[in-house]
Amino acid sequence: MELKNPIIISSSGLTESAERNQRFYEAGAGAIVLKSLFEEQIMLEADWLGDPTMYPEGSDYLVEYLREHKLSEYLALIEETKKVCHIPVIASINCYHDAEWEEFAGKIEEAGADAIEINILALQTNLQTQYGVFEQRHIDILRHIKEKVSIPVIMKLGDNLTNPVALIDQLAAGGAAGVVLFNRFYQPDIDIERIKHITGNVLSTEMELARTLRWVGIASGTVNNIDYAASGGIHSLGALVKVLLAGASAAEMCSVFYKQDAKSLINEYTGFLQQWMERQGMQSIAQFKGMLNVKDVKDINMFERTQFMKYFSGKQ
């Protein structure tokens, strides 16, 4: 996909209505990822309604109705957004199981989405789960969705993978057009006075940028037949330049748009990028994309270990 600039409005409540999406388009966004359609949202509600003790006669019918209803709401969001936004509109599905769920992908394509982003965000806590099963699920889901659609399929990964680079390599081989590093988990916290669980920071901070830079830098230096979008901790004008230098083609940004008006923000980011490129004599993003990725991955562990030693040996 060609974007007019590398700023993508990342999937969240911000992109759940066509009116808001139109404002992002008018503010100058390069692309928009719609709020995710969650597998659980449909399946849990469907399970509940499908309980035969509650609705003895019509349970199957209700399950089917609910699924279709949720899906048609989402398809309407795609159609309405496409009418008012003349930039790529990416649908997002959050799925956990490799199941019939993938049928929905075909309908999403028919509704006019320019691409589909899949996120398989889940913690792995089951004692019986074998190593690698979770990663394999990504590959299986991608394969099944690719069988249903011809638009680009983008995989948005969590940061809880044993070896993201090996997985990305397999996803590229499986035909994924791009990967997004990374999705953001719900952040738990504890209130020590009330002695109870509470929600931690909903929005990211710039502290999260280092993790994004590390993995975009390592993965893009190794697997270069797939596009990367960086997501997580982009909170300053320079951070956008940094993720491009690390190897990303675009940035999926979310938290900053919860805090500041989109029009001024996008103007500031694109203006800064333009000025920086002029200052550095760069004609296009392609000229510097990945200039600072990690070229020699074989030495990455040694590099990390020596840097770590240097860093902490000075700390009293």
Ligand X SMILES: Cc1cc2nc3c(=O)[nH]c(=O)nc-3n(C[C@H](O)[C@H](O)[C@H](O)COP(=O)(O)O)c2cc1C
Q: Are 241 and 268 in contact (CB under 8 A)?
A: no
- Nearest distance from residue 83's CB to ligand X, in Å? 22
The residue range among 17-25, 196-204, 274-282, 296-304 that interacts with ligand X, by the rule CB under 6 A, is 196-204
Which residue number, 94 or 249, has a Cβ lying nearer to ligand X?
Answer: 94
Which position among 122, 151, 165, 203 is part of the footprint of ligand X (CB under 6 A)? Answer: 203
Would you count residue 253 as binding ligand X (CB under 6 A)? yes
By rule CB under 6 A, what string of x and - marks binding of each residue 87-106 to ligand X? -----x-x------------
- Nearest distance from residue 106's CB to ligand X, in Å? 20
Would you count residue 252 as binding ligand X (CB under 6 A)? yes
The torsion angles phi and psi of 289, rounded to 5 degrees, stand at: -60, 125
The torsion angles phi and psi of 229, rounded to 5 degrees, stand at: -120, 135
Q: Are 93 and 136 in contact (CB under 8 A)?
A: no
The residue range among 58-66, 215-223, 251-259, 299-307 that interacts with ligand X, by the rule CB under 6 A, is 251-259
CA terminus-to-terminus distance, the chain? 50
The residue count for binding ligand X (CB under 6 A) is 24
In DSSP notation, 220-286 reads: HHH--SSEEEE-S---SHHHHHHHHHHT-SEEEE-HHHHHS-HHHHHHHHHHHHHHHHHHHT-SSGG
Q: What is residue 102's DSSP assignment?
A: G
Interface residues toward ligand X, by CB under 6 A:
10-13, 35-36, 92, 94, 119, 156, 183-184, 202-204, 208, 231-234, 252-255
